[in-house]
Chain A
């Protein structure tokens, strides 16, 4: 069973640029959630995708967008990068089903630095 993988592991961008982060779900999972973890903080929910559609969104502006593909992998896109976007971006996959306990399995994260 393959766990959740994310790429790249580290990324450096400058203000105003755009970035795409990628996530491969754990085998058999159909739901992907993205979280932003600023330094010294707990993860903050960005959004979740289920069956290729957005299924809930946190308090993040529209320049944060995502996709989920038929194989349940996912992308997080951030446009017009700001300094405050510097953070660890975590992807989590889960299997959504009736009566489930919603356990999410996290990837190792992508460390984004915006200069």
Chain B
């Protein structure tokens, strides 16, 4: 079985500051890891994914995440926050190819302070 834990249900950062959203995973097999973003009243949009290639993954909108097996982490970062980054962010894991069930974390709401 696989799971993800997102630390911090709410994160606030100032515009232009570093964004760091935390995600730790648990998986009995090498995981595929994902970050999704959800804007109000919308579905989920894929930001980036880790599929056992490079450990540093670059995504859309300037976001990136680093897979650290020793820490079982896949934290999402962005060097400089923009007002448009305000949204809900979900970390998710698939642990077993062929069973494409995404297991999501509880989400982190990101607020950008002007």
Contacts and interface: CB of A to CB of B under 8 A. Distances in A.
Answer yes or no: are A and B bound together in one complex. Answer: yes
B71 interface: no
B104 interface: yes
Given A41-B106, A42-B105, A56 B99 contact: yes
Counting chain B CB atoms within 10 Å of each CB, the highest count among A4, A101, A102, A103 belongs to: A102
Contacts of A92: 44, 102
Contact of A41 (B45, B92, B107): B107
A66 interface: no
B46 interface: yes
A109 B46 contact: no
B69 interface: no
Given A56-B101, A103-B46, 15 more contacts: A4-B43, A40-B107, A41-B106, A42-B107, A43-B102, A44-B104, A45-B101, A56-B99, A90-B44, A92-B102, A94-B100, A100-B97, A101-B51, A102-B97, A106-B43
12 contacts: A35-B104, A40-B107, A41-B106, A41-B107, A42-B90, A42-B92, A100-B97, A102-B97, A106-B44, A106-B45, A109-B42, A109-B43
Interface of B: 32, 34, 36, 41-46, 49, 51, 90, 92, 94, 97, 99-107
